Structure formats: structure tokens, C-alpha cells
Amino acid sequence: MKVRIKDFGINLDILSRGLEIEVKDNSGKHLGDLFITKTQLIWCKGRTRRENGVPVTWATFQKWMES
């Protein structure tokens, strides 16, 4: 799996707009995008637009990772 940052500003703090990470499989097929914001993570499968993605709060993500 190939994961890369698509858009990253100079400031290392996550700002309101957030950070967008593009996810591709080993053959280069686009699997989706992950948006990371101050309040949540948003998974956009395939070419799904950000506003139609699946949001998860940081608290829920933390519970998933710690279970």
C-alpha cells in the first residue's frame, strides 16, 4: 500500500482545513483519501468528495486503536 501526503503546508499544526493523505495500493490504484482535521478524521473511499466521506471523531478513533 502506498500512502502519501497530497497537500502539506509549512506550518506543522493541523489547521481548520486539515491535512489530506492519498492512499493507493501497490499497483498504483487510488483507494481513497484520508482527511485529518482538529476534530475528526474523514475517510473518502475512491473518488468520494470530502463532504460525502465517513467522519470519525478523535475519541472514537482512539477507542478503535486501543481495543
Hey, where are the domains in the chain?
2-66
| Whether the Cβ atoms of residue 37 and residue 16 lie closer than 8 Å to each other | yes
How high is the pLDDT of residue 37?
A: 87
User: Could you report the per-residue pLDDT of 6-65, keeping only the tens digit for each?
Assistant: 665 554 566 677 888 889 999 999 999 999 888 899 999 999 999 999 999 999 999 999
Q: Tell me the three state secondary structure of residue 52.
A: helix
DSSP string covering 6-32: EE--SS-S--TT-EEEEEE-TT--EEE
Closest Cα to residue 21, out of 31, 10, 11? 31
- Is the per-residue pLDDT at 5 higher than 80? no
11 — phi, psi (to 5°)? Answer: -70, 130
